[in-house]
Each structure stands twice: as C-alpha cells, then as structure tokens.
Chains A and B, each alone.
Chain A
Amino acid sequence: DGGITQSPKYLFRKEGQNVTLSCEQNLNHDAMYWYRQDPGQGLRLIYYSQIVNDFQKGDIAEGYSVSREKKESFPLTVTSAQKNPTAFYLCASRDRQETQYFGPGTRLLVL
C-alpha cells in the first residue's frame, strides 16, 4: 500500500527539549513538505524539499530544522527555540501532476 506515514501520532515535549517527528513516503515523490496547523489558522508551511539533500525554509521556519538524506524520509526537529510548539503537524509529498498528498499527522503537546 503506497502512502505517507507519520510517527508518532502523539508526542510530548518537555521544556528545553528537542523532539523529532518522522515522515516517510513510499510514493517515489521527489518533493516533500512540513506544515503546522493551529485551530482557525489553516496550514502554514514550515519547510519543503524538492530533491534529496536540498530544502528551503517556508513561512514559519524559525525554531524548526529538517534533513533530507533519503528520498523517502523528511524528518522535522522541533527545537527548544520554538517557544510555542503545541500544534498538529502535517507532512505531505507532491506528485508529478502537481498534487500534494498528506500523512495522518502528529499532534505535539508540551508538558
């Protein structure tokens, strides 16, 4: 079954801690994305990558970091510099017909 997986479903962060959210896809898509969703705010782009070993900042990259060492994987690290990390995080990938497909999401909560 082809698709996008995100883990964990729920993640708890303590103050001062870095946490990493996993995103894996087996759709053979080149481009991958990370979005943050807050109630009533829609989706905001954090980082995106159009090819392995390359990525660009989105609209709200401060306090986040990414890597793209493999085509299938695009992990997001929420650093301690992100002062308001509580949100629903969505990963997506884009096909050659310009359509983005989304994973099931990770909800990050602060202890």
Chain B
Amino acid sequence: AQSVTQLGSHVSVSEGALVLLRCNYSSSVPPYLFWYVQYPNQGLQLLLKYTSAATLVKGINGFEAEFKKSETSFHLTKPSAHMSDAAEYFCAAGKPQGGSEKLVFGKGTKLTVNP
C-alpha cells in the first residue's frame, strides 16, 4: 500500500531563510503528488500538485516542489521564509499511475518562522 513519509514533524527557520520540507512516497510507479497547507483551526489549502507534466512544480505563495523519481521524493521549498508561512504542511499521494480517488497523507510538518 502507498505510504507517505514527511521527515521532521517540526521545522524551524528564521525569517528570510530557505524553507525545505521533505516528503517521500513509497510506490515504484509515480503517483499524483500534492502539498497542502493548514493554518490553525482551518481546512487544508492546496499549494501545488504534480501530475507528471513537469518535474518542477510552482505553487502559490512562492512555494515550489521538485519531483525526483530516483529518490521517490517531492520536497517543498521556498527561497525566503515569511512570518505568514508559519503553518502545518501536508504531503499527499494519489494512486500510482495517476488519479486521486483516494489520497494518502503524511503526518504533517509544522513550520515555525522566527523573526
């Protein structure tokens, strides 16, 4: 069964520093991949998604993610952190070979941005 691993349940960065949130998936066939952001007591908001069209995916709020098949990874980055980026981030994977009928979520990474 598909699984998604997010390394680091908590990540802390300084304002203006690089943000790197790690995500690895388990299937040998690339699935659709998603990053979502959740602010306290709110629903999840889509940041970006990978559907095999391009390996570097640009999302909202300056975030991007690179799909690396050889590493089964889909890490999320942002060049310069802003205080408003403080939130919890979830990586999710759909079915191998595409589709998102059922998503499998990682356990989340809480990002803290220090002034």
User: A43's closest neighbor in chain B, by CB?
Assistant: B105
Chain A contact patch, size range: 20 to 34
Tell me if B25 is interfacial: C-beta within 8 Å of chain A: no
In the bound complex, residues from chain A placing their C-beta under 8 Å from that of B82 are: none
Chain B interface size range: 20 to 34
Q: Is the CB of B44 within 8 A of A102?
A: yes
The prevalent SS among residues of A at the interface is strand
Which residue, A90, A98, A99, has most C-beta atoms of chain B within 10 A?
Answer: A98
Q: Is B83 an interface residue (CB 8 A)?
A: no
Given contacts A48-B102, A98-B51, contact A41 B107 (CB under 8 A): yes
Total number of A-B contacts with CB less than 8 angstroms? 57
Binary CB contact string for chain B from 86 to 109 against chain A (1 if under 8 A, 0 otherwise): 000010101000111111011110
Q: Which residues of A contact B42 (CB under 8 A)?
A: 104-105
**B43 and A103 contact, CB distance less than 8 A:** yes
Is the beta-carbon distance between B98 and A98 smaller than 8 angstroms?
Answer: yes
Q: Could you tell me the distance between the alpha carbons of A99 and B101 in the complex, rounded to whole angstroms?
A: 9
CA distance A43 to B105 in the complex (A): 6
Bound form: Cα–Cα A58–B101 in Å: 11
Write out, one digit per residue, whether chain A residues 89-101 have a CB within 8 A of any chain B CB (1) or not (0): 0101010011111
Apart from A45-B102, A97-B51, A102-B45, what are 19 other A-B pairs with CB-CB below 8 Å? A31-B101, A40-B108, A42-B90, A43-B90, A43-B105, A45-B103, A58-B102, A88-B41, A90-B43, A94-B100, A98-B100, A99-B34, A99-B100, A100-B100, A101-B46, A102-B36, A102-B43, A102-B44, A103-B43
Q: Which residues of A contact B (CB under 8 A)?
A: 4, 6, 31, 40-45, 48, 50, 58, 88, 90, 92, 94, 97-105, 107
Q: List 26 A-B contacts (CB under 8 A).
A: A6-B43, A31-B101, A40-B9, A40-B107, A40-B108, A41-B107, A42-B105, A42-B107, A43-B92, A43-B103, A43-B105, A44-B105, A50-B101, A90-B43, A90-B44, A98-B51, A99-B49, A99-B100, A100-B34, A100-B100, A102-B45, A103-B43, A104-B42, A104-B43, A105-B42, A107-B41
